[in-house]
């Protein structure tokens, strides 16, 4: 059973994950408006991943006899200066989410909630991948500079990204 401190922190993280999904969907809409369907696809996949992360947390709270309290989600921005600006924000946002996950891990340890600590290890690993993925695209864009043909090529590459259901939603560890 979850104690109230852990339950509230996990509910806060559910809201953070759904905000992340909302942010990435807004970024997809922005990129679509620039006629960059590949980058928009990358963001829609990111949206699906963040929604899945929220669902994993949601499921865990109930699995531990807690109560999910859904919170209001702030509206994300609607526009960015450039594709580079979008991915700079993605990388910065993923670093923020990593800090939130690390704070949850610290709380689980301080509350001696070993089950939650163990559960959160999947998110710790996932955040390493999330940051690396965002940074890779950010760096590609930085290398391209103002190359329109390069942007076109990377856009095509981004269109190939697909969503893979995370193992915890498939009942796997």
- Which residues, 6 or more positions from 139, have their beta carbon under 8 angstroms from its beta carbon? none
**173 pLDDT exceeds 80?**
no
Q: Encode 57-87: b = buried (16+ Cβ within 10 Å), e = exposed.
A: bbebbeebebeeeeeeeeebeeebeebbebb
* Contact indicator for 159, 38 with CB cutoff of 8 Å: yes
- At 106, list the tokens: 């610290």
Residue-wise pLDDT for 101-138, tens only, equals 999 999 999 999 999 999 999 999 999 999 999 999 99
Q: What's this model's pTM, rounded to 2 decimal places?
A: 0.95
Q: Return the pLDDT at 172.
A: 78
pLDDT tier at 1 (50, 70, 90 boundaries)? confident
The CATH number given to 4-161 is: 1.20.1260.10
**171 pLDDT exceeds 90?**
no
């Amino acid at each position: 059973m979850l104690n109230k401190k852990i339950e509230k922190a996990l509910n806060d993280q559910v809201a953070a994950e759904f905000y992340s999904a909302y942010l990435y969907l807004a970024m997809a809409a922005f990129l679509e408006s620039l006629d960059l369907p590949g980058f928009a696809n990358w963001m829609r996949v990111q949206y699906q991943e963040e929604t899945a992360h929220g669902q994993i947390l949601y499921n865990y709270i109930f699995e531990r006899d807690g109560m999910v309290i859904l919170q209001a989600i702030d509206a994300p921005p609607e526009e960015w200066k450039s594709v580079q600006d979008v991915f700079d924000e993605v990388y910065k946002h993923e670093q923020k989410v990593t800090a939130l996950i690390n704070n949850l891990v610290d709380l689980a340890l301080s509350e001696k909630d070993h089950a939650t600590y163990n559960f959160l290890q999947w998110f710790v690993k996932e955040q390493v991948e999330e940051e690396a993925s965002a940074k890779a695209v950010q760096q590609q864009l930085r290398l391209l500079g103002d190359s329109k043909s390069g942007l076109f090529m990377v856009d095509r590459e981004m269109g190939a990204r697909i969503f893979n259901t995370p193992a915890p939603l498939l009942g796997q560890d």
